[in-house]
């Protein structure tokens, strides 16, 4: 558990100078960010977000999968956000990933049949951002006039490029 011990040491250091104890749940910038779990991405840092300012939803690829859509609905209906930003990135581990290949690998490694799931792999991050914006728009629980923008984060430069 040495990694966790290190994280807890860092946490005590963080708490020792903590100044955000009076924040409430609704994000002050009224925005939700949907992005990838990738370790190279620190969305708060690369977007200049402080504690309390934005919801951050992260999964494999930053996809608008069913649970991410549920999170966006909660964010908008209960915590007053009114804008979404979808950010995928270069060199994503989900590039080229096929559900069949994942299922096959799991069956091999775990020695038995594994139910096939939708993991959300894609071929092109620009297209996957466009697809996810369309998926969010198509959800009956999302307001028609919700501003949604999309970007690609470049892991080699730290820069965002808009997807139009």
Q: Binders of a second copy among 33-52, rule CB under 8 A?
A: 37-42, 44-52
Q: How far apart are CA 5 and CA 127, in angstroms?
A: 40
Shortest Å, Cβ 72 to a second copy: 9
Question: Interhelix angle for 125-138 vs 66-79, to 10°?
Answer: 50
Q: Which of 20, 100, 145, 164 binds a second copy (CB under 8 A)?
A: 20
Q: Within positions 96 to 155, which residues make up the interface with a second copy, using CB under 8 A? A: 97, 102, 105-106, 109-110, 112, 114, 117-120, 140-141, 147, 149, 155
Q: Judged by CB under 8 A, which of 32, 133, 136, 163 binds a second copy? A: 32
User: What are the residues whose beta carbons fall under 8 Å from the beta carbon of 158, sequence distance 6 or more?
Assistant: 46
Report the nearest approach of a second copy to the CB of residue 13 (Å). Answer: 7
Nearest Cα neighbor of 150 from 37, 64, 49 is 64
Question: Are the C-beta atoms of residues 31 and 85 closer than 8 Å to each other?
Answer: yes
């Amino acid at each position: 558990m040495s990694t966790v011990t290190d994280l807890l040491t860092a946490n005590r250091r963080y708490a020792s100078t903590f100044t955000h104890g009076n924040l409430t749940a609704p994000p002050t910038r009224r925005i939700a960010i949907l992005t990838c779990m990738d370790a190279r991405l620190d969305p708060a840092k690369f977007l200049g977000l402080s504690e309390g300012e934005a919801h951050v939803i992260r999964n494999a690829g930053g996809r608008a999968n069913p649970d991410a859509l549920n999170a966006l609905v909660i964010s908008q209906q209960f915590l007053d956000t009114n804008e979404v930003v979808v950010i995928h990135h270069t060199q994503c581990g989900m590039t080229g990933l096929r559900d069949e290949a994942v299922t096959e690998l799991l069956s091999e490694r775990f020695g038995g049949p594994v139910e096939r799931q939708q993991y959300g792999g894609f071929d092109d991050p620009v297209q996957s951002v466009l697809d996810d914006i369309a998926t969010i728009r198509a959800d009956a629980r999302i307001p028609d006039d919700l501003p949604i923008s999309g970007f690609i984060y470049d892991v080699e430069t730290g820069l965002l490029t808009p997807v139009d």
